[in-house]
A and B are shown apart, each in its own frame.
Chain A
Amino acid sequence: MHVATSPAFKENAHRAIQDAGLQKALARSGPSFIARRRDAVAALPEFEELRDIARDIKNHTLANLDFYLEEWEANVIKAGGKVHWCATAEEARDAVLAICRAANARTVTKGKSMISEELGINDHLERHDITPVETDLGEYIIQLRHELPSHIIAPAFHLNKEDWEESFRKSHTDLPADRVFRERRDILTEARAKLRERFLAADVGITGANFLIAETGSSVIVTNEGNGDLTQTLPRVHIVLASIEKMVPTIEDCTSLLRVLARSATGQDFSVYTTFSTGARRPGDLDGPDECHVVLVDNGRSAMLGTDFQEMLRCIRCAACMNHCPVYGAVGGHAYGWVYPGPMGSVLTPSLIGVQQAGHLPNASTFCGKCESVCPVKIPLPKLMRHWREREFERHLTPAFVRTNLALWGFFARRPALYRLATRAAAWTLGRLGRRHGRFHRLPFASGWTGERDFPAPEGDTFFARYAREQRAGRMR
């Protein structure tokens, strides 16, 4: 399993800001995600209404999750599949290994799956002499470079073309060393040829699941490359890795969620391949796996039910929150230090690995609210981050310096007259001092700000004072 570097978020973030390659990648890709989603949403007038429907479907399912899981399992079995219930990451790793061993597997192809990253499936298989091969293009290069994904739908978000070239030259040593990569297409073509061999040779294919459907016992994957479909169609054994909150009741419910998923994620109206898998090969079928196993994982989800964080279980992993987050946009995904970055990671990671480990993450937010406003299932991410901040404070995990200053601020905030007096005095003083340049290069107690940029001088008055004045003026008009 990946060792979390989340406790070192501050150091990670500093390093990320100095990393020229990462900054180049962030500047290039960030705005395009936002523009594509905006265009897709603008083209569907019902989008806002569909967000409410998506939220309600997920809430309904979570409130009846035990029922739907049992119905779903019965339908998986009816379709010739097998369900492996796993409470912890360790149980899930062992279940996957046992299935692979029973299949005498030597190589295993894998579709993109965040739960696989969370569980640490690849390391576990490698330790037992089974070779896992990631087949999503982004996951493939991450695996070659022994890195973690930096984004939940674009794992290689942080890499530039030069990085791809370098890794391919280092890894594909059977190809001529003097070959030329003129354009991105050449990289793609090489990966296609390399991975085609792997697809054909694999003994087992492992995919994730975007949804599980109780009505039919299906699992659903959504991809653009077709790698997930090759992974689950060609080998003799197919393993689906899915966590319990992927459940939805019916195909119609799933369809409603699919309408908001691709638009929120890549800005497509629909992904290229949306595939519903239900059990194993049927009599007379000419292809498809002989065995289908679903490894169903809890790993901390059931403990979120009935808590402040239940709403996080609605998440459909579209990545809109991180695509629109100014903090993610500045530091990228690796700074968050574990599997799930951005706002959704800042809420989920403390639930899964503990607030002692991940307490920095819910603090790494400006609370601008953009994440909540684009979330297709309307998760109140800022509110949930605030809950984590409260818990961190209650458990005395907050550093003494921050606690002291919060106490000081709290003292004034509870005494409005004093608060106004103090802020007016500060604004007046700073306004006088900064009148000549309109900005400060340095300020006592504010080096965290002025170390990177100038602090604008106040114009001499506070918001409160101006607001009160304009209210009075308005009444006289």
Chain B
Amino acid sequence: MTKDIILAAIRRNLRRGPLPADQVAMLRGRMSQHPRQLIPARSRLPHPEQVALFVANVEKEFASVARVPDLDAVPEAVSGYLAAQNLPTDIVMAPHRELQAIPWSTRPLLRLREGRAEASDMVSLQHAFAGIAETGTLMLPSAPQRPTTLNLLADTEIVLLRSSRLVGAYEEAWDLLRSELGEMPRNVMLITGPSRSADIEQTLELGAHGPRRLHVVLVDDAPA
């Protein structure tokens, strides 16, 4: 079997046989403890400053942020953004209970459909699992209530993030994912800004294959 041939070649060239049991136990222990390496100091801040760092990084990466005081204010923030960008008001929305609980009826002009995105969808509304201040990154693990296509097919992606879900470093977001989801979902996207390419003359252009615009609606629900 090719597998055995490759493993045998690795061991032969490393001049050893299969690893001894104590070494295997040590390596398994390291994997289950998954120790953190160095975490840059830049995100080790009080929470309000982490929020400010997140917002600054998101904007640096050509995305935008609207801060709202609670979930009741989300419909107005979404319709206001779409109107200001002159975008259609048909939205494909992640079937997530937090999004479903928003009082959308206050903005009857918004037409919402729940589900995955199709090629014709212009605007998507996604639910963020966590935000990472270190680089202004959104963590979006796939799930029935969080389809991956919402991050990819629409021209404009709007993402709802609660500020209580905002952490400093990637490692903190992975800890949340491990403790709340247990296992690795099929897909975890870490998204930092809208799609772009510099393949033409090494000059940055936004809107390559994914969303041309990324807008974060940040709900301030963290205790001050």
Binding site for B on A (CB under 8 A): 25, 28-29, 32-33, 44-46, 49-50, 53, 57, 63-71, 73, 79, 85-87, 91, 135-138, 141, 154-157, 159-161, 164, 184-185, 187-189, 192, 195-196, 199-200, 214-218, 224-227, 229-230, 233-234, 244, 249-253, 255-256, 258-259, 266, 268-282, 284-288, 298, 302-307
Contact = CB atoms under 8 A, between A and B. Distances in A.
A225 B6 contact: no
Q: Which 3 A-B pairs have the closest CB atoms?
A: A226-B210, A225-B208, A138-B199
A247 B87 CA distance: 43
A136 B11 CA distance: 37
A214 B28 CA distance: 10
29 contacts: A44-B40, A49-B38, A50-B38, A65-B14, A69-B7, A136-B199, A138-B199, A154-B199, A157-B202, A159-B201, A160-B201, A195-B209, A215-B31, A217-B184, A227-B209, A249-B34, A250-B35, A274-B137, A274-B192, A276-B190, A282-B143, A282-B185, A285-B144, A286-B144, A287-B149, A302-B6, A303-B9, A304-B13, A307-B13
Given A137-B197, A225-B209, A302 B144 contact: no
Contacts of A215: 31, 34
Given A85-B3, A230-B152, 10 more contacts: A66-B14, A71-B31, A87-B2, A156-B200, A184-B201, A200-B119, A225-B208, A269-B135, A272-B192, A305-B10
Given A161-B200, A284-B144, A137 B208 contact: yes
A224 B197 contact: yes
B31 A288 contact: no
Contacts of A155: 199
Nearest to B202: A29
A270 B24 contact: no
A252 B201 CA distance: 35
B41 A46 contact: yes
A57 B3 CA distance: 24
A303 B37 CA distance: 30
Contact of B191 (A136, A218, A268, A272): A272
Contacts of A188: 197, 200, 205, 207-208
Contacts of B185: 278, 282
B79 interface: no
Given A137-B200, A160-B201, A306-B13, A230 B209 contact: yes
A224 B5 contact: no
Given A230-B152, A253-B37, A270-B135, A275 B201 contact: no
B117 to A, nearest CB: 8
Contacts of A280: 186
Interface centre among B30, B203, B209 (most CB of A within 10 A): B209
A248 to B, nearest CB: 11
Contacts of B101: none
A232 B147 CA distance: 14
A249 B202 contact: no
Contacts of B41: 45-46
A458 to B, nearest CB: 40
B42 interface: yes
Nearest to A184: B200
B222 to A, nearest CB: 23
Given A252-B34, A277-B186, A229 B40 contact: no
Interface string B140-177: 00111001110111000000000000000011001000
A180 B202 CA distance: 21
Contacts of B97: none
A135 B37 CA distance: 35
Contacts of A244: 6, 10
A282 B189 contact: no
A324 to B, nearest CB: 15
B209 A305 contact: no
A216 B171 CA distance: 15
A164 B203 CA distance: 14
B200 A53 contact: no
B116 interface: yes
B224 interface: no
B27 interface: yes
Interface centre among B7, B190, B208 (most CB of A within 10 A): B208
Contacts of B28: 71
B194 interface: yes
Nearest to A138: B199
A215 B210 CA distance: 29
B126 interface: no
A271 B34 CA distance: 23
A67 B27 contact: yes
Interface in B187-220: 187-203, 205, 207-211
A302 B10 contact: yes
Nearest to B115: A286
Interface string B108-123: 0000000110010000
B18 interface: yes
A45 B43 CA distance: 13
